[in-house]
Amino acid sequence: MATSIKKLPDIEQVLSGNGACGGCPATMALRIVGKALGTNAIMLLTPSCSVASMGMTPKLGYNWPCINITFASAGSSASGITHALEIMKEKGRLEGELPTVFSWVGDGGTYDIGFQALSAAAERNDNIIHFCYNNEAYSNTGVQRSGATPRGTYTTTTPSGKRQPKKNMALLMLEHNIPYVATATVAYPGDLYDKVVKAKNTPGMKYIEILAPCYLGWQFDMAETVQLSRMAVRSGAWLLWEAENGKISFNSPSSNIISGKKAAEPVDEYLMKQGRFKRLLQGSDASQRIAEIQGDIDQQIAFMRERAKINI
């Protein structure tokens, strides 16, 4: 059972007065991450909404030492910092528990532009946590498609709908044989919190991906961020899972969908809540477009079930 939201620590690492939109899922997620990591951490960020939101020194919106780096170097910079800390400790120049080194990167920075250095850090099993907050687009620059954008989505670079399905990035990270991989989303804060605590206490490379429904890119009312996040999970469009030393397990409520105890909700309602789909679902080919999106979801559920060796 996941930790109750009422039991999360009071500590706030995301400070009030930052520049994020109201209802920003990345900021909500980072608040929960902060509660799990505590103050003893070093944060790396690549260009993104989270950088645009954080403000400027000395009035940073996040209560950690923060390093802004290029897209391509999140993996290598985090590796460098963690190794430098280890050497300083070895030489007696640092005392006490080493800070957690973590990268906070969007889907554009993770799936696409930063993938090479991230893959190399995973291959070396360097002691870092890479968080991908996945709003399924390059939001900060006006919502362009990324490798995380699902098929059928309107973005400014896919005006008639993206033609390709999204990558399974978390699974790609798992294929690097790293000790911990997890997916999460803001509607399940206790689940996210528990996963971050686990990652913090696991040596080596950790990857946590958080689905982050963004009202601007997804085109819904900003008060409904958490509702959209929950609908993504209930429809099976986003699966909650974790893998410890390669063994995959699913978390509630995705575990019920995977085990066949409860069917995933049809994707229609989830799609119609979002302008990025709705605007393309008004033509005569609407049912075919919905069927394609539903097909991708069903295929991923079946694939993950098989990958986790679960028979129903």
Ligand X SMILES: Cc1ncc(C[n+]2csc(CCOP(=O)(O)OP(=O)(O)O)c2C)c(N)n1
Contact residues: ligand SF4, CB under 6 A: 20-21, 24, 26, 49, 53, 135, 139, 214-216
User: Residue 216 binds what, of ligand X, ligand SF4, Mg ion, none (CB under 5 to 8 Å, by partner type)?
Assistant: ligand SF4
CA distance 292 to 179: 34
Nearer to ligand SF4 by C-beta: 27 or 127?
A: 27
Give percent helix, percent strand, percent coil of the chain, each to the nearest 5. 40, 15, 45
From ligand X, Mg ion, ligand SF4, none, which one binds at residue 47 (CB under 5 to 8 Å depending on kind)?
Answer: ligand X
Measured between alpha carbons, how far is 248 from 177 in angstroms, rounded to an integer? 12
Please give the residue whose beta carbon sits closest to ligand X in the complex: 106
Residues 123-142, one symbol each (x = binds Mg ion by CB under 5 A, - = not), give: ------------x---x---
Comparison of 18 and 294: residue with beta carbon closer to ligand X: 18
- Which partner from the list ligand X, ligand SF4, Mg ion, none does 141 bind, CB cut-off 5 to 8 Å by kind? ligand X
CA separation (Å) from 45 to 52, 64, 166, 301?
10, 12, 23, 31
Binding-residue total with Mg ion (CB under 5 A): 4
Which candidate, 254, 47, 53, places its Cα nearest to that of 170? 254
Contacts 24+ apart (CB under 8 A), 155-163: 155/217, 155/276, 160/280, 161/280, 161/289
CB of 140 to ligand X, least distance (A): 3
**Beta carbon nearer to ligand X, 173 or 248:** 173
CB of 151 to ligand X, least distance (A): 18
Is the peptide bond prior to 253 cis by the omega test (within 30 degrees of 0)?
Answer: yes
With tokens 């170097």, the residue in question is: 73
**Interface ranges with ligand X (CB under 6 A):** 47-50, 71, 106-109, 113, 135, 137-141, 146
At 207, give phi and psi (nearest 5°).
-130, 125
- CA 279/CA 281 separation, integer angstroms: 6
CB closer to ligand SF4 out of 127 and 229: 229
167 or 198: CB nearest ligand X: 167
Residues 171 and 145: beta-carbon distance below 8 Å: no
Contacts with Mg ion, residue ranges (CB under 5 A): 106-107, 135, 139
